[in-house]
Amino acid sequence: MVALIILLGGARSGKSRLAEGLTQGPGPVTLIATAEGRDSEMRSRILQHQRSRPAHWRVVEEPVEMERALAGVEGDDRIIVDCLTLWVSNLMELGLDDSEIVARGRRSAASAAARGPSTVVVSNEVGSGIVPVNELARRYRDLLGRVNSIWADAADHVYLAVAGGVVPVQPARSVWEQATDG
């Protein structure tokens, strides 16, 4: 059984829809949602996500304490974490320094990878665009890239969602293994 799947991609690339599809079937599903409806546009986005998922799913709204949220999920539940993008932003907003955010990323990824049932994690790939004009935006881009890399390294499978399709991403550890085998 695949324990940890990471879905990376741009905004509206199909990541959440794919995550929902990967957890379809018999058995319980828990969604860990990191978004907070702080304005009308975000509340509208959250409502769209709520309407798209099955009503029987358990939802844990946890914008900050990912480890606790993962630990609180029933043992047989499949999990969707949607999304690391907002989780990292929320941690930054709390004033945590980079090393603490990275440490939380490592602990949470390890916890998710150690589970028996599958965990599907959604996150945006924000580092492919232009270099942001201000320090805060550059810090966010860099931190999210580090956290995404940590989760990807712990994952069984990593996919990049592009325009509703997916491309498998080879984990860095396997690239290093192939490069040093010869």
Domains of the chain: 4-160 (3.40.50.300)
Which of the residues 17, 49, 106, 107 is marked catalytic? Answer: 49
Q: Comparing C-alpha atoms, which of 129, 147, 173, 167 is closest to residue 15?
A: 167
One-letter amino acid of 100: E
pLDDT tens digits, the chain, 182 residues: what are they? 568 999 999 888 888 888 888 888 888 999 999 999 999 999 998 898 888 888 889 999 999 999 999 999 988 899 999 999 999 999 999 999 999 999 999 999 999 999 988 999 999 999 888 899 999 999 999 999 999 999 999 999 999 998 878 999 976 665 656 666 65
Beta strands, E only, 34-84: 58-61, 78-82
The yes-or-no answer on residue 56 being catalytic is: no
